[in-house]
């Protein structure tokens, strides 16, 4: 096994060579660390990853975390990475600066992620790894934990002590966060963790040859450390969502858990349904009865919901569906990222009805776009899908203070008091949107009818009514198009006149930002169009953007280039796809290599 | 007081003689007796001949998709428990594709009056056997006789924990009105399974057949508040029982929910103040 | 009401004017009749429609039927049309030649379908219609039925007597079919119907001023009168399908009913499941266990199936899904035609996996393509969707004798005897297809796993395996593309060098055939490409076809032009959409008008 | 005879102490006792910690989607009834999303041995309450206590018409092996609901808790062939019953089906002769 390990390392050395050809400069400016902690599911390595992220946030750095973990509760390998920098961070870093691991297989797993700066700190309780051509320390984390604290449970906190010593982080900040974290638990657990932390620190003082770096507090405060699921839950409550129904599914479950915990304080209800079909029908019912209502799910659950998605389209009930993509098809890999459900989000559901698909590219955007999703749903009276993926959903990053004054509540054509005269819920209007009542509004009786219906909602099969109703519903898409343009004016990054163009959405947003920043430090220059929504498809904006470019790259986390094909479709020009579909995030270098090789 | 006429929207277009006519009449009369107004009621249906109710009964209406009337109704009831939420569905809609929602609605004891028009056949799709069709039943999908053992919605509801369980018969209008009215007045989930003959596709379970094969539990000595007794009656009776089979008092799902949130969602103030906002952010970010 | 009726008739007169400008000639050649019978659901008008169709087939004519009926069991208006000709028939006719109706509202409903040749025969039992500017006869069908036979039930057969007299069809042929039809019923029913028929005929002899036409027996026999559902059920059994699971849904139910009736004779099982999700999982299970397996459904059911469609894609189990589209969204209009689920058929289901979507354009093609669907499913080991719509599914037409020798059974890489050595079900092969075993093959044990998996099927989350498996599965699409090209070489109709191009699929096939035939009787000439499958999308063929054309029309029964957009996408050129989405079939004139107005 | 080792694929990766380990051991021993070979068995699972069984148990395996193990298993059994089809699933998989299929499999009496690992929680998704969680159960989705009344899979199976109904406990391996073996030998649908503690997410229903709260029905006077008696036992017992609760002999769905088609589908000759072909066309076109 070790021979093989060595042989493969040869590969990563090659990698490093390619890498060092021209891009390194970028990384040496300012502090920009990428630390990975390797353990096993359930062994608490996520906890110290979180602590590390919090420490960095606390002392003023921008932080982005990245978890690579199995769809299993305990025992399989799991990795938590933290990137911290004094400049804005958009993506994971190309190479690992520090790998702290309790399991030897991690050393091989990351072989393509080492640079000449990498330092590996591994648990040598059982054996030492020989022939490692990367700087490394073997530390007996487990052994120390057992001998000093009677259990190997504290190896993580010992490692935290070693690592933060090497990084030269002031002890008091670490202790601070440690206390905050363990205070909620039993007193003896807090004490033992503090002891473990000290053991690690002292071991390092005695055994590690001097500090690697010395990280200063730069004291930028006020920012939040949030992941997309948290931002969306927050956004929903703030937007006035008062009904949630869902069914547990990785990586969307946390949204439900957060809403069940917090919604009641704002007189809202969040329920766990018996399945996703029940969930979507519950929110349709609640919305019919007047509440802003939402569900969140992933691929398998969304597939089950599509019959009723079509219902919401037909009866023009506003709903918000958060669609957190994971690796497919079928069960796939529940805990990994992918953007391969995009076409399903745009085109599933039988029959034709308007829908809106929003694609936030950062945690912060996930927050604001969720609040707008409710406005759009009620203004256009149609389902709105907030499409993200596991990367944005489950990885925390530092976010600027969220600005409540940017959040508006607009409920569209909603009638809440008595209607005099002949009320027609599905009145044929110029913009296709008809005023809706909610029970028990007097004079506002109507039928929300999944059958084709007349203006009052009653079943009608006559060809003239049918045609008029289809047209009415589809006219709303035009309103959606206009509204979206106003709400989310297209963001173009980089040099306006560049002839190299990038297009992306969702979780590739950050990586493209870093890529163009790096590209633009030399010639030729590049620009980037972030797609903030995918339906109605922003063809005009794309066509405008690609005007006068030589090369267009569309970057996606899927194998077929789903949006790439749509871009081709609407522009009629050739595009290059840069795709990744192994469940792991693009590193900037993955993109740059393709670009540099033409 | 409102009159029956206020609940009339248009004339139904079921086959002449269809059992569903009586159920519609019974529901109209029961809501009058229960003193409800059209705008206070939301009638929720699935898909089927039975589910065409929403095109004929005047009130707020929701005609959703096949099998999913209950979850939609639950959403409505949770949003605004002051509404009277009634579900009208068929045996296929409820006991085939909708089986799971049925069991879960029953165990949650959510305040919905659920009328199942059980004609032991799929009417709207033109006569296939249903989960309540008897063994040997001949239909377009069981030309040599149905091989599956029928389920009994009443027994399942009882096992799932429902708190109002009755069975009516379209041929017995007065009792049916009473059973529906009882369901409307009951706090919690109320199942009224109605034997409602399909004259077009079920030539076996006809009005006459039912008259021979039913037993009115209200005519015999039965205490509907005794659960074990109710089980025994169902399991030992050689006839199909009609009447009120079981009723008990338990807290409803909506009451439990509302007391846990301290109010009714539809009354919530949906714009958060600065204070609440700060608290919320603090709580959510305290990982 | 009658005033209004009259006013609207003015419109149809206008229609007729446009019509008579140039296209009439085509219709006067040979016999080409279009007869519509109007009644109410459940009153038996379908029965005489069927009898009429059988009579025409029997005496040697080509027949196409078209039913326009409500989603209700009894009481609402229903229409049965029969087109009969001595030339091949592709579509419904522009205008009605004979309207026989028991309900007065039919006279208005069809107001746009009258020409100067139209004859209306209506039931005047209650009242006469005045001011009809179309030739008409009032006949007291109901009154005669009640007075002579004690019930209005026989009005249909009386009308059949009147109509066939007017058409000059030899009495013996009608009696023949009447006997065949009613023989299965009680003796007195047959007798009463024969009596009713005679009453009608005698009434006509006494009251109608001479025969309109005299239809001769042309004695072309041997053809079948079949609808798409029947053809597909037949195709499935002949292709060796031995497992069917489904759930009733209009307009696909008949496939299940036919298979439950007939499959047992060939030792196959057809079951009614508790819902569509159960149905698709049952067929996946049966296929895993070695049977050719199929389900059939419509939009709402297909939406429910998409989660497991993705499962079939992931575990590479061959299944066939017949997708009979109806009007959507949601419940829509269950008994009417539409092609608005096309994008859902192509793109639903989460994640990326190969699928094949076949789109037969006639009943005959539905038969042969169903048989090939099973071969494709087993050869490519993926789900195959046979996509039709209510028009093809439920309308009968004359079909040439089906040729059993054209039906092959090819089961692909299937291992049925003991495997020696290390068996890997998901072996990475060049073409992506790996040999499969079925239990209880010794040595052939594997796991069909919805999680991403290694070559033996066991769960694997490693990025290298993941990438390899995605590539393996998607490589199969290339095989599919090649195979489909061989199986269904593209059919181009019309003048090869024409500069006007039509593209269509499914139920618009017939109408385009008639349109180009009519166009090509003068200048400019037109050609037509029939798309026989939509996935993998036949981009190359389309690009080749549109080469050197000035104008491209894509014709569809939906409101957004779903395939039109895909054609734009792959060709990058402008196309014109001709769309209809009121639930009724295109008449050739609907298309011709658009073409002629530019 | 085959040995237990032949059914070992790899070591399970459940949390140390998870109840599912015992179930896996019990299944391996029971198949040995029932004299089955790995290739004759198809093990079908849904999604959940429990459903990871197919990665650890060596036989033909089918790891489908959440809640749908039963219909896939039915398809397999109908195609080839000579196979021994076993379903292993969780309480969420079976009684939440899969509830409808569970009731319908029970009433059909299809020959499947169904082991439900009932830990009263969703394990794989990290600890939400399930339909069998008791009222007041604290979980990530019921932070103030579950408000829903739990269902009892055993009672529902009995009501739906199942013919073999047992409950096992991971803390009682010998009995569990026996109950599973009984299910494997039973003709028809056999439910073995296993109390299988989730040590990570269910801190209430622990091994100790179960030891205090279960009653072994086999230790008391109970006749498992009496259905009414079985109902009574369940409804009146203050403890959770384990052991064989009910068993009866009824024709299986597969037997009825096979006798109606005169054979086993997998043996069918799938190419039709000319004769058959002509007949078939005649029949189908004789509308
Ligand atoms: C998902 C889905 N599957 C199937 C159907 C077709 N469908 C409509 S009604 C019905 C069954 C009706 O039977 P039942 O509920 O007993 O009502 P009845 O017509 O007998 O009153 C079915 C299968 C559908 N509309 N949606
Ligand atoms: C359609 C769908 N919805 C949700 C999920 C997520 N999911 C996976 S396992 C599971 C529940 C597991 O609970 P249980 O069946 O009790 O098994 P356990 O893990 O407790 O053994 C859920 C909700 C999924 N895979 N598919
Ligand atoms: S088909 Fe049956 S259920 Fe439907 S309306 Fe007619 S009699 Fe009633
Ligand atoms: S989470 Fe619970 S059910 Fe899952 S493996 Fe751990 S103990 Fe077992
Ligand atoms: Mg019914
Ligand atoms: Mg569980």
What is the DSSP secondary-structure string of A96-155?
A: EEEEEESSTHHHHHTGGGEEEEEEEEEE-SS-PPPS--SEEEEE-HHHHHHHHHSSGGGH
What is the residue whose two structure tokens read 């209005």? C152
Ligand 3 neighbour B53 (Cβ under 6 A): no
Quote the mean pLDDT of chain B: 96
- Whether residue C328 lies inside any domain: the answer is no
Dihedral Cα C490, C494, C495, C500, nearest 10 deg: -90
Q: Which chain A residue has the Cα nearest residue B54?
A: A447
Query: Residue whose CA is closest, atom 6 of ligand 3?
Result: B15
Check residue B139 and report its DSSP letter: B
Most confidently predicted of B247-251, C401-405, D273-277: B247-251
Half-sphere exposure of B213 (CA within 13 A, CB side): 11
Q: Hey, are the CB atoms on D99 and B99 less than 8 Å from each other?
A: yes
* Cβ proximity of D71 and D26 under 8 Å: no
Beta strands A319-325 and D240-247, pairing class: unpaired
Question: Which of C173, C207, C241 is the last residue in one of the domains?
Answer: C207
CATH of the domain at A132: 3.40.920.10
C290-337 pLDDT, tens digit each: 999 999 999 999 999 999 999 999 999 999 999 999 999 999 999 999
Residue A18 has pLDDT above 50, yes or no: no
pLDDT band at residue B286 under the 50/70/90 scheme? low
Task: Note whether A75 and A199 are same-domain residues.
Answer: yes
Query: Residue whose CA is closest, atom 6 of ligand 1?
Result: C249
Q: Hey, are the CB atoms on B257 and D156 less than 8 Å from each other?
A: no
pLDDT at residue number A457: 98
A564 to chain D nearest CA, in Å?
A: 30
Ligand 2 neighbour A301 (Cβ under 6 A): yes
Angle at A132 between CA A126 and CA A137, to 5 degrees: 55
Ion ligand 5 residue ranges (Cβ < 5 Å): B 90-91, 119
Whole-number Å distance between alpha carbons of C67 and C394: 8
CA B121 to chain centre: 17
How many domains in chain C?
Answer: 3
Whole-number Å distance between alpha carbons of C104 and C129: 8
CATH of the domain at C542: 3.40.50.920
Ligand 3 neighbour B128 (Cβ under 6 A): no
| pLDDT above 70 coverage of chain A, percent | 94
Q: String of b and e for B128-152 (b: at least 16 CB within 10 Å)?
A: bbbbbbeeebbbbbbeeebbbbbbb
Axis crossing angle, helix A463-487 with helix A363-380, rounded to the nearest 10: 150
A426-451 pLDDT, tens digit each: 999 999 999 999 999 999 999 999 99
Q: String of b and e for A156-189 (b: at least 16 CB within 10 Å)?
A: bbbbbbbbbbbbebeeebbbebbeebbeeeeeee
- Whether residue A185 lies inside any domain: the answer is yes
Report the separation in Å between the CA atom of D157 and the middle of ligand 4, taken as the mean of its atom positions. 25
Task: Return the H-helix or E-strand segment holding B241.
Answer: strand B240-247
Encoded tokens for C510:
């017939």
pLDDT at residue number B163: 98
A463-492 pLDDT, tens digit each: 999 999 999 999 999 999 999 999 999 889
* Cβ proximity of C550 and C500 under 8 Å: yes
Task: Note whether C449 and C499 are same-domain residues.
Answer: no
Task: Note whether A202 and A73 are same-domain residues.
Answer: yes
Question: Which of A439, A458, A487 is the last residue in one of the domains?
Answer: A487
Which of B11, B12, B13, B14 for a ligand 3 pocket mutation test, highest count of atoms within 8 Å of Cβ? B14
Task: Note whether A574 and A477 are same-domain residues.
Answer: no
Half-sphere exposure of D126 (CA within 13 A, CB side): 18
* Cβ proximity of B145 and B137 under 8 Å: yes
Whole-number Å distance between alpha carbons of D150 and D132: 5
* Cβ proximity of B235 and D231 under 8 Å: yes
The helix/strand/coil state of C233 is helix
Whole-number Å distance between alpha carbons of B251 and A95: 59
pLDDT band at residue C187 under the 50/70/90 scheme? confident
Ligand 3 neighbour C214 (Cβ under 6 A): no
Chains in contact with C, where contact requires at least 3 CB pairs less than 8 Å apart: A, B, D
How many domains in chain B?
Answer: 1
pLDDT at residue number A210: 67
- Whether residue A372 lies inside any domain: the answer is no
- Whether residue A401 lies inside any domain: the answer is no
pLDDT band at residue C73 under the 50/70/90 scheme? confident
Ligand 4 neighbour D20 (Cβ under 6 A): yes
What is the DSSP secondary-structure string of A427-468?
A: ---SSS---EE-TT-TT---EEESB-B-TTS-B---HHHHHH
Stated pTM of the model: 0.96
Q: String of b and e for C488-518 (b: at least 16 CB within 10 Å)?
A: bebebbbbeebebbbbbbbbbbbbbbbbbbb
Q: Which chain D residue has the Cα nearest residue C411?
A: D270
Encoded tokens for B189:
């989930």
Question: Which of A168, A183, A207 is the last residue in one of the domains?
Answer: A207
Whole-number Å distance between alpha carbons of C498 and C553: 13
Arithmetic mean of pLDDT, A67-87? 91
Helices and strands per DSSP (H, E), number in chain C: 20, 23
Q: Which residues contact C585 (CB under 8 A, 6 or more apart)?
A: C66, C91, C92, C337, C391, C507, C511, C557
- Whether residue C173 lies inside any domain: the answer is yes
Domain that holds residue D80: 4-285
Q: Which chain A residue has the Cα nearest residue C336?
A: A461
pLDDT at residue number A118: 95
pLDDT at residue number B287: 53
CATH of the domain at B168: 3.40.50.970
Arithmetic mean of pLDDT, A532-561? 96
N residues, chain B: 287
Q: What are the CA-CA distances from residue C33 to residues A171, C61, C175 (Å)?
A: 95, 10, 21
Residue C15 has pLDDT above 50, yes or no: no
Quote the mean pLDDT of chain C: 91
Whole-number Å distance between alpha carbons of C453 and A538: 37
- Whether residue C225 lies inside any domain: the answer is no
Angle at A446 between CA A441 and CA A450, to 5 degrees: 135
Residues of D within 8 A of C281 (CB-CB) are 64-65, 68, 71-72, 75
Beta strands C269-272 and C241-246, pairing class: parallel
Best mutation target among C274, C302, C335, C390 (most B Cβ atoms within 10 Å) is: C274
Quote the mean pLDDT of chain A: 91
pLDDT band at residue C41 under the 50/70/90 scheme? confident
Whole-number Å distance between alpha carbons of A564 and A504: 9
- Whether residue C44 lies inside any domain: the answer is yes
What is the residue whose two structure tokens read 């839950």? A233
Arithmetic mean of pLDDT, C332-347? 97
| pLDDT above 90 coverage of chain A, percent | 82
Helices and strands per DSSP (H, E), number in chain D: 10, 10
* Cβ proximity of B121 and D161 under 8 Å: no
Closest in A330, A351, A572 to C329, CB measured: A351
Task: Return the H-helix or E-strand segment holding A233.
Answer: helix A228-238
Query: Residue whose CA is closest, atom 26 of ligand 2?
Result: D66
What is the DSSP secondary-structure string of C377-441?
A: HHHHTSEEEEEEEHHHHH--EEEPPP-GGG------SEE-S---S---TT---SSS---EE-TT-
Q: Hey, are the CB atoms on C74 and B16 less than 8 Å from each other?
A: yes
C468-495 pLDDT, tens digit each: 999 999 999 999 999 999 999 988 999 9
Residue C18 has pLDDT above 60, yes or no: no
The helix/strand/coil state of C585 is coil
Whole-number Å distance between alpha carbons of D160 and D228: 13
* Cβ proximity of C386 and C373 under 8 Å: yes
Task: Note whether A480 and A512 are same-domain residues.
Answer: no
Arithmetic mean of pLDDT, D237-249? 98
Q: How many CB atoms lie within 10 A of CB C193?
A: 27
Domain that holds residue A540: 491-597
Arithmetic mean of pLDDT, B30-54? 98
Check residue B52 and report its DSSP letter: G
Question: Is some CB atom of chain C closer than 8 A to the CB atom of D59?
Answer: yes
Which of D15, D46, D122 for a ligand 4 pocket mutation test, highest count of atoms within 8 Å of Cβ? D15
For residue B125, the ligand closest to its alpha carbon is: 1
Residue B262 has pLDDT above 80, yes or no: yes
pLDDT band at residue C43 under the 50/70/90 scheme? confident
| pLDDT above 90 coverage of chain C, percent | 82
D149-206 pLDDT, tens digit each: 999 999 999 999 999 999 999 999 999 999 999 999 999 999 999 999 999 999 999 9
Residues of D within 8 A of B227 (CB-CB) are 235
Closest alpha carbon to A265 in B282, D202, C124, C505 = B282
Which of B19, B48, B102, B120 for a ligand 1 pocket mutation test, highest count of atoms within 8 Å of Cβ? B48
């Amino acid at each position: 096994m070790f021979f093989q390990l060595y042989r493969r390392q040869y590969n990563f050395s090659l990698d490093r060579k390619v890498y060092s050809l021209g891009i390194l400069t970028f990384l040496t400016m300012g502090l920009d660390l990428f630390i990975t902690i390797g353990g096993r599911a359930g062994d608490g390595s996520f906890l110290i990853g979180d602590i590390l992220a919090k420490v960095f946030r606390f002392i003023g750095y921008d932080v982005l975390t990245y978890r690579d973990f199995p769809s299993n509760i305990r025992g399989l390998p799991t990795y938590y990475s933290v990137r911290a920098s004094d400049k804005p961070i958009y993506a994971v870093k190309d190479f690992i600066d520090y790998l702290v691991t309790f399991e030897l297989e991690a050393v091989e797993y990351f072989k393509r992620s080492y640079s000449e700066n990498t330092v590996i700190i591994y648990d040598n309780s059982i054996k030492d790894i020989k022939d490692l051509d990367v700087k490394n320390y073997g530390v007996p984390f487990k052994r120390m934990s057992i001998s000093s604290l009677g259990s190997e449970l504290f190896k993580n906190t010992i490692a935290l002590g070693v690592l933060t010593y090497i990084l030269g982080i002031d002890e008091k900040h670490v202790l601070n966060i440690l206390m905050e974290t363990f205070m909620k638990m039993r007193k003896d657990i807090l004490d033992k963790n503090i002891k473990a932390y000290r053991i690690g620190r002292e071991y390092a003082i005695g055994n590690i040859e001097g500090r690697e770096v010395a990280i200063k507090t730069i004291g930028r405060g006020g920012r939040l450390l949030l992941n997309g699921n948290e931002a969306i839950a927050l956004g929903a409550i703030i937007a006035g969502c008062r009904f949630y129904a869902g069914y547990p599914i990785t990586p969307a479950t946390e949204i439900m858990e957060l809403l069940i915990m917090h919604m009641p304080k704002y007189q809202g209800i969040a329920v766990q349904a018996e399945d996703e079909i029940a969930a979507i029908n519950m929110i349709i019912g609640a919305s019919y009865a007047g509440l802003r209502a939402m569900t969140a799910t992933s691929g398998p659950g969304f597939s089950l919901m599509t019959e009723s998605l079509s219902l919401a389209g037909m009866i023009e009930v506003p709903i918000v569906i958060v669609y957190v993509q994971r690796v497919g098809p079928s069960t796939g890999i529940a805990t990994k990222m992918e953007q391969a459900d995009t076409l399903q989000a745009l085109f599933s559901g039988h029959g034709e009805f308007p829908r809106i698909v929003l694609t936030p590219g950062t945690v912060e955007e996930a927050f604001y776009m969720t609040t707008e999703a409710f406005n759009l749903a009620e203004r256009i009276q149609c389902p709105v899908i907030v499409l993200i993926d596991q990367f944005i959903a489950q990885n925390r990053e530092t976010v600027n203070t969220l600005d409540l004054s940017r959040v508006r509540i607009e409920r569209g054509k909603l009638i809440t008091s008595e209607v005099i005269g002949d009320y027609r819920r599905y009145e044929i209007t110029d913009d296709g949107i008809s005023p809706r009542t909610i029970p028990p509004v007097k004079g506002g009786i109507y039928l929300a009818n999944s059958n084709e219906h007349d203006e009052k909602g009653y079943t009608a099969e006559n060809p003239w009514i049918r045609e008029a109703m289809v047209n009415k519903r589809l006219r709303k898409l035009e309103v959606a198009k206009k509204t979206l343009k106003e709400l989310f004016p297209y963001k173009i990054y980089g040099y306006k006149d560049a002839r190299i163009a990038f297009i992306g959405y969702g979780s590739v947003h950050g990586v493209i930002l870093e890529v163009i920043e790096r590209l633009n430090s030399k010639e030729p220059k590049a620009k980037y169009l972030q797609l903030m929504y995918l339906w109605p498809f922003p063809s005009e904006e794309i066509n405008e953007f690609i005007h006068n470019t030589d090369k267009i790259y569309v970057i996606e986390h899927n194998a077929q280039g789903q949006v790439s094909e749509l871009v081709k479709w609407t522009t009629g020009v050739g595009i290059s796809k840069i795709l990744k579909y192994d469940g792991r995030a693009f590193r900037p270098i993955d993109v740059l290599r393709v670009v540099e090789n033409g | 007081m409102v009159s029956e006429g206020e609940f009339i929207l248009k004339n139904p277009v079921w086959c002449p003689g269809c059992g569903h006519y009586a159920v519609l009449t019974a529901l109209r009369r029961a809501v009058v007796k229960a003193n409800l107004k059209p705008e206070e009621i939301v009638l929720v249906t699935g898909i089927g001949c039975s589910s065409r109710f929403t095109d004929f009964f005047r009130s707020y209406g929701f005609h959703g998709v096949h099998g999913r009337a209950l979850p939609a109704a639950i959403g409505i009831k949770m949003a605004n428990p002051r509404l009277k939420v009634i579900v009208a569905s068929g045996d296929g809609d409820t006991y085939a594709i909708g089986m799971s929602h049925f069991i879960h609605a029953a165990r949650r004891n959510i305040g919905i009056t659920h009328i199942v028009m059980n004609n032991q056949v799929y009417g709207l799709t033109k006569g296939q056997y249903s989960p309540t069709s008897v063994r040997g039943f001949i239909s377009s999908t069981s030309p040599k006789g149905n091989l599956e053992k029928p389920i009994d919605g009443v027994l399942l509801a009882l096992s799932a924990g429902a708190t109002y369980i009755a069975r009516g018969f379209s041929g017995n209008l007065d009792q049916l009105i009473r059973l529906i009215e009882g369901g409307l007045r009951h706090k919690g989930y109320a199942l009224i399974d109605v034997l409602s003959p399909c004259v077009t596709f079920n030539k076996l379970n006809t009005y006459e057949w039912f008259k021979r094969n039913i037993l009115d539990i209200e005519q015999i000595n039965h205490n509907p508040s005794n659960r074990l007794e109710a089980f025994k009656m169902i399991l030992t009776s050689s006839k199909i029982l009609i009447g009120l089979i079981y009723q008990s008092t338990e807290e409803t799902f909506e009451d439990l929910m509302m007391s846990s949130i301290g109010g009714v969602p539809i009354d919530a103030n949906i714009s958060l103040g600065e204070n609440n906002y700060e608290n919320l952010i603090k709580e959510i970010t305290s990982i």
